[in-house]
Amino acid sequence: MSAIPKHTAKAIVFTCREERLRNQIENIIRSLPGGAFHAALAGGGGAFSFEPDKHVALKQVVAAHKINQITDIYLESHLGCGAYGLAGITFANSQAEITKLHDDLSTARRVITEALLAEGVAAGTVHVHTRVIDLHGKPIDRPVLAKTA
Ligand SMILES: [Zn+2]
């Protein structure tokens, strides 16, 4: 009987299920030393803001930490995500969409940090990386608001 090699991934990549993203998701996972867990729910990083998906999403992240003591969490959301429309969320324009996706990723970072702290994970030992991308995998920065001073 051959021994099954231990899974040594120290990261989880959390994305939408959108199949058009698969190449860039595979690229991210390949770029991480030891690979990564991959969790996918409609909405990607936005799933942490949707009920009841939030609980399923958090469970995946906490489980990855319990199994392999992951040190890095990569959350992605993408433009044109059908999960937002399904949730009844519409955007006045692309700036509004980009801002909302970044806001939801900030929420995801906060709820994940709270969940890990509640599990007894030491503060600062797990890093949450967030990214909004287009369907080609290109990162889309948060819009910069004009200063009003
Ligand atoms: Zn999507």
Cβ(128)–Cβ(113) under 8 Å? Answer: yes
CA 4 to ligand 1 center in whole angstroms: 34
CA 143–ligand 1 middle distance (angstroms) = 20
Task: Decide: helix, strand or coil at residue 54.
Answer: helix
Domain positions in the chain = 11-133
129: part of which helix (H) or strand (E)? strand 127-133
Tell me the β-bridge partners of 99.
none
Read off the pLDDT of each residue in 124-148 and give the average, rounded to a whole number. 90
Beta bridge partners of 133: 78, 139
The model's pLDDT over 29-66, given as tens digits with 9 standing for 90+, comes to: 999 988 999 999 999 999 999 999 999 999 999 999 99
* pTM score over 0.85: yes
Q: How far is the CA of 47 from the centre of ligand 1 (A)?
A: 10
CB 83, CB 50: distance < 8 Å: yes
